[in-house]
């Protein structure tokens, strides 16, 4: 394993609850002052600066000098993806406790320390994550566009026909080596969102239609004014199918 990357340094940096709280506050890609991060993590300014210094020295954060103030942001979008993956892995590593966690946590409960923009819509690998994606998954399930069979998710004939009207063709997606559709765990929603090649195709549809934008150096997806209207119409179309 000579060429295997060493992850112990990063793991050690993220293991501290106060440092992980500050990392969560930066997950939307914005830059925040050290004083603000200290407040969010419940630290004194001096203690926060010490933790931020370690995160910066470890390559997880970059510092921006603005006059006398220092702002911190994630050094790269991949770091945010790694933190999110660890959050998902934490749930997956507790198979016996996750059902109890879900019973105690309502579907609308959010990870409060994460920025609200990150909770609404974000990149999750190559597809859409967040409350927007989780709501869409549930609507498609209720409308019969997709079905959950044990641990598998399939697209129904009805769903394939409806998606085709939007330019998403299931037969074309089936040629990929990846799964067409799966229930991807959403760490912030405690419920699944749409994964697989269908999830990626829906995200591409929304972005090509101008409904969502992805600014550089971030994983937070911005919903445009037109996008909010069109996504609402798309959701209502699915809800109408639920009534049929």
Q: What is the pLDDT of residues 143-194, one digit of tens each?
A: 899 998 877 899 999 999 999 998 999 988 877 667 899 888 887 777 889 9
The pLDDT-based confidence of 209 (bands split at 50, 70, 90) is very high
Q: Are residues 162 and 239 in the same domain?
A: yes
The span from the CA of 199 to the CA of 203, in Å, is: 6
The span from the CA of 50 to the CA of 37, in Å, is: 12
Q: Are residues 187 and 112 in the same domain?
A: yes
**CA nearest to 205, candidates 166, 241, 232, 235:** 166
The pLDDT-based confidence of 112 (bands split at 50, 70, 90) is very low
Percent of the chain with pLDDT over 90: 30
Is residue 3 included in any domain, yes or no? no
Is residue 110 included in any domain, yes or no? yes
Give tens-digit pLDDT for 29-64: 788 888 888 878 888 888 999 999 999 999 999 998
pLDDT, position 110: 42
Q: Are residues 47 and 118 in the same domain?
A: no
Number of domains within the chain = 2
The span from the CA of 186 to the CA of 191, in Å, is: 6
Alpha carbon distances (Å) from 131 to 76, 93, 163, 187, 223: 24, 23, 21, 10, 13
The DSSP call for residue 220 is B
The span from the CA of 204 to the CA of 198, in Å, is: 10
The span from the CA of 86 to the CA of 49, in Å, is: 24
Number of Cβ within a 10 Å radius of residue 224: 15
Beta bridge partners of 122: 129, 220
Distance of CA 62 to the CA centre of its chain: 22
What residues have CB less than 8 Å from 28, skipping those under 6 apart? Answer: 114, 115, 117, 118, 218, 219, 220
Q: Are residues 69 and 137 in the same domain?
A: no
Q: Are residues 24 and 67 in the same domain?
A: yes
Domain boundary among 75, 104, 123: 75
Rg (CA), the chain: 20
| pLDDT at 99 exceeding the cut of 70 | no
More confident residue, 99 or 193: 193
The whole domain housing 16 covers 8-75
Beta bridge partners of 127: 124
């Amino acid at each position: 394993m000579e060429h295997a990357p060493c992850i112990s340094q990063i793991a050690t940096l993220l293991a501290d609850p106060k440092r992980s709280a500050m990392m969560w506050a930066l997950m939307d890609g914005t830059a925040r002052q050290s004083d603000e991060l200290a407040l969010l993590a419940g630290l004194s300014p001096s203690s926060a600066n010490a933790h931020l210094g370690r995160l910066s020295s470890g390559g997880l954060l970059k510092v921006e000098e603005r006059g006398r103030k220092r702002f911190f942001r994630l050094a790269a979008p991949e770091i945010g993806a790694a933190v999110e993956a660890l959050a998902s892995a934490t749930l997956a590593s507790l198979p016996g406790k996750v059902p109890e966690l879900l019973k105690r946590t309502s579907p609308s409960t959010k990870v409060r320390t994460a920025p609200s923009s990150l909770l609404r819509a974000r990149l999750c690998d190559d597809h859409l994550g967040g409350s927007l994606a989780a709501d869409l998954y549930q609507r498609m399930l209720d409308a019969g566009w997709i079905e959950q069979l044990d641990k598998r998710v399939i697209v129904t004939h009805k769903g394939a026909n409806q998606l085709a009207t939007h330019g998403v063709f299931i037969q074309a997606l089936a040629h990929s080596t990846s799964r067409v559709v799966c229930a991807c765990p959403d760490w912030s929603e405690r419920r699944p969102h749409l994964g697989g090649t269908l999830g990626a195709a829906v995200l591409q549809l929304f972005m090509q239609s101008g409904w969502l934008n992805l600014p550089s150096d971030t994983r937070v997806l911005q919903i445009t004014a037109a996008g909010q209207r069109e996504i609402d119409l798309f959701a209502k179309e699915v809800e109408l199918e639920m009534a049929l």
